[in-house]
Amino acid sequence: MGYRAGVVGAAGFAGIELVRLLSRHPEFDLAAATSDALAGTPIAKAYPAFTGVTDLAFSTHEDTDFSAFDVVFLAVPHKAAMGMAPDLIAAGVTVVDLSADFRLKDPAIYEKWYAPHTATDLLAQAAFGLPELTGDELAAAAERRAAGEAVLVGCAGCYPTATSLAAAPAIRAGLVDAAAPVVADAVSGVTGAGKKATERTHYCFANENLEAYGVGTHRHTPEIEQILGLEGRLVFTPHLAPLNRGLLSTVTLPLAPGAAPTTEGLVELYRDFYAASPLVSVMDAGVQPRTASVAGTCRAQVGVAVHPAGMIVATGAIDNLGKGAAGQGVQCANIVFGLPETCGLEEIANPV
């Protein structure tokens, strides 16, 4: 018998991806998937891909008793998770949150970009969920959970994940000018905007179109700055592409005075940095990541090159629903529960 797991907000794109991953996870047993809008509807009826996979039906949030669960994944909108997490933690349930509510360490910054935070005590103790870069926080959370404490993980967002995985090795090696702006241009598939169609994400507007949005105002900016230590220096511009899944971030990093790496040397540095990260692959010199090569997985591909203008250009490709959301949540839960971090996440993308 494995760990009893539930998903709140399971009918959305990230939530149903969690259902997919947990339905075949060898250690987590999916026992509840909630959706107020689809309560009572079999999951396989709403999403026929689950025909023959699960007989579970959606339940309501309020009528689902999670008190006997080991872990609950929150795939709910921002500001909703901080209202749900305190009761779950008080009941002894470990929480893995996919929203932004427990990512930003400073409640004042959260309030600036979202709203006043109503669970600052939990915010102070939440582990940040980007395993390759915040493994110490997750390891400490695993120790606390092993000692009988319910813990909270705030998983990194999709844009911050791809951008930070691409840029962190160079920044942490001291190769980047500590006073200059860093530019990140990122492109995401439409599922990153959630299930509800808008004037930007409706098929007729998104198809055959590419556009920037949230220019200078996107809420993932402070999260990326927090991860990379770039407070006030990040120029982040997201773009929407007519893809279902996939996210590519290109980060332009000015070299520090006196730094003169080669592309081959950077590739070696990056491979050393991610040597213990089985879900991150560093591409050969001259080879760039592809979103199609990671779609449907929790894997990331990273590429890096030296630009003759005195810049490092680093690229990161992920599946925005996989490594950018549900897969990352499962990866974090694996670590917190003392499992191999790749448990249930071993898939590779379709080659064509």
Q: Which residues are catalytic?
A: 158
Say how far apart CA 19 and CA 316 lie, in whole Å.
26
- In 45-157, where do the E strands start and end? 71-74, 94-97, 127-129, 152-155
On whether the CB atoms of residues 317 and 294 are closer than 8 A, the answer is: yes
Q: At what angle do helices 13-23 and 327-336 cross, to 10 degrees?
A: 50
User: What are the φ and ψ backbone dihedral angles of 168, each rounded to 5 degrees?
Assistant: -60, -45
Q: Which of 153, 99, 101 is nearest to 125 (CA)?
A: 153
Say how far apart CA 324 and CA 327 lie, in whole Å.
7
SS (H, E, C) 19-44: HHHHHCCCCEEEEEEECCCCCCCEHH
Say how far apart CA 228 and CA 316 lie, in whole Å.
15
Placement of tokens 């949030």 in the chain? 61
Q: Give the 3-state secondary structure of residue 6.
A: strand
DSSP 287: -
Say how far apart CA 291 and CA 264 lie, in whole Å.
23
Q: Give the 3-state secondary structure of residue 244.
A: coil
User: What are the φ and ψ backbone dihedral angles of 155, each rounded to 5 degrees?
Assistant: -75, 145
Give the distance, in angstroms, between the CA of residue 110 and the centroid of all CA atoms in the same chain: 18
Say how far apart CA 338 and CA 324 lie, in whole Å.
22
List of residues 6+ apart from 265 with CB closer than 8 A: none
User: Tell me, what amino acid is at 261?
Assistant: P
